Amino acid sequence: MTLSPRRPNKLPTIEREFEFLDRHFQFLRQLAGKHAGINLTEAKRDLVYGRITRRLRALKLTGFDAYCDLLTQQPHEELGDFINAITTNLTSFFREPHHFDFIRDHLLPNWRATRGAAPRLRCWSAGCSTGEEPYSLAMTLLDALPVAACHDVKILATDIDTNVLAHAAAGIYGLEPVLALSAPQRRRWFRRGKDPHQNHACVVPALRQVINFLPLNLMDSWPMKGPLDLIFCRNVVIYFDKPTQRRLFDRYAELLAPDGHLIIGHSETLYGVSDQFELVGRTTYRKISPSEGSQ
């Protein structure tokens, strides 16, 4: 019996709709880093191709050369859509519920004990995506406070992606994610939508009134002056390199009140990035006061 020579294994060739050369990827990654601080690593190459291919089809462009030319010649027309396309917006109501438990069980009692029954609260949801995070925060605060104490609760919700921000400001969601909430929360904070949103749930005006939605690139100047009591920045800095993360956390520390808190995502850490915070819970940090830092 004669054995045939073994053929070497070959990886299948990936057929692409559009030619995507290294110079295209390098141009796009540099643009993302310059304008949004986003660090597009080599591992993101296929993601960039898939996301931007949708833009090519939408714009009826012939390929990545034409798209890069568009970003070079008319950046104000396409840059926002480019950043929107490469960012990921995965969220849900009360995602990482331990954060909201910490606010309800620890932060709110402390704020009320030190500031009175109707504390002035200023919070920021940075990278709010389609709004589930700031609405969850608002429900946590308003459910735990007496009605008379809710008038001075304000939440700023920002995102670089103007499309998801518009979704958030509208406060209209499919029934399935809302059904994951408790029955009391659904009754208090949502109403069944009417035409053309009859298969949706709408956030009640009282909840929307405590939140101000604003488009914001974290790499730009910030309009708010502070001091803030709480900042949510979850699953945002994973897009940034370490120097950008350090600058961002320094800016957060400047904006927070002396007893302010910062909450980050489950896969993120301040270890080796910032020494201005101490860990007080699962990915929950308290700002260290200057006197503590000098000890």
How many Cα atoms are found within 13 Å in the side-chain-facing hemisphere of 209? Answer: 8
pLDDT tens track for 53-93: 999 999 999 999 999 999 999 888 888 888 888 877 678 99
Query: What digits encode the pLDDT tens for the residues 207-260?
Result: 999 999 999 999 999 999 889 999 999 988 888 889 999 999 999 999 999 989
> What does the pLDDT read at residue 22?
94
Q: How many CB atoms lie within 10 A of CB 166?
A: 14
Instruction: Tell me the percentage of the chain whose pLDDT exceeds 90.
Output: 62
Residue 8 backbone dihedrals phi, psi, to 5 degrees: -65, 145
The secondary structure element, H or E, covering residue 222 is none
> Would you say 52 and 44 are in contact if contact means Cβ atoms under 8 Å apart?
no
Q: How far is Cα 267 from Cα 239, in angstroms, rounded to an integer?
A: 12
Amino acid 4: pLDDT: 38
**CA distances from residue 120 to 43, 196, 261 in whole angstroms, order as listed:** 44, 38, 15
Q: Is the peptide bond before 12 cis (omega within 30 degrees of 0)?
A: no
CB contact set of 289 (below 8 Å; sequence gap of 6+): 258
Q: Which residues pair with 284 in a beta bridge?
A: 263, 281
Distance CA 30, CA 40 (A): 8
Give the residue extent of every domain in the chain: 22-86, 97-293
Decide: helix, strand or coil at residue 230.
strand
Q: Is the torsion defined by CA of 75, 76, 81, 87 positive or negative?
A: positive
The confidence band for 2, taking pLDDT boundaries of 50, 70 and 90, is very low
Tokens coding 276: 């201005």
Q: Is the pTM of this model over 0.75?
A: yes
Question: For residues 52 and 2, what is the distance between their CA atoms, to the nearest angstrom?
Answer: 51
Q: Which long-range contacts (CB under 8 A, 24 or more apart) does 184-189 make?
A: 185/139, 185/143, 188/143, 189/135, 189/139
* Predicted local distance difference test score (pLDDT) of residue 119: 84
**Residue 238 near residue 220, CB atoms below 8 Å:** no
Q: What is the pLDDT of residue 267?
A: 85
Active site residues: 51, 159
- Residue 47 CB contacts under 8 Å (≥ 6 apart), including other chains: 86
User: What number is the average pLDDT over the span 100-126?
Assistant: 92
Structure-block tokens of residue 26: 């390098």
Buried residues in 134-162 as b, exposed as e (16+ CB within 10 A): bbbbbbbbbebbeeebbeebbbbbbbbbe
> Per CATH, is 97-293 categorized as 1.10.1200.10?
no
Q: Over the stretch 136-172, which tens digit does the pLDDT of each residue have?
A: 999 999 999 877 667 789 999 999 888 899 999 999 9
At the second CATH level, the architecture of 22-86 is Orthogonal Bundle (1.10)
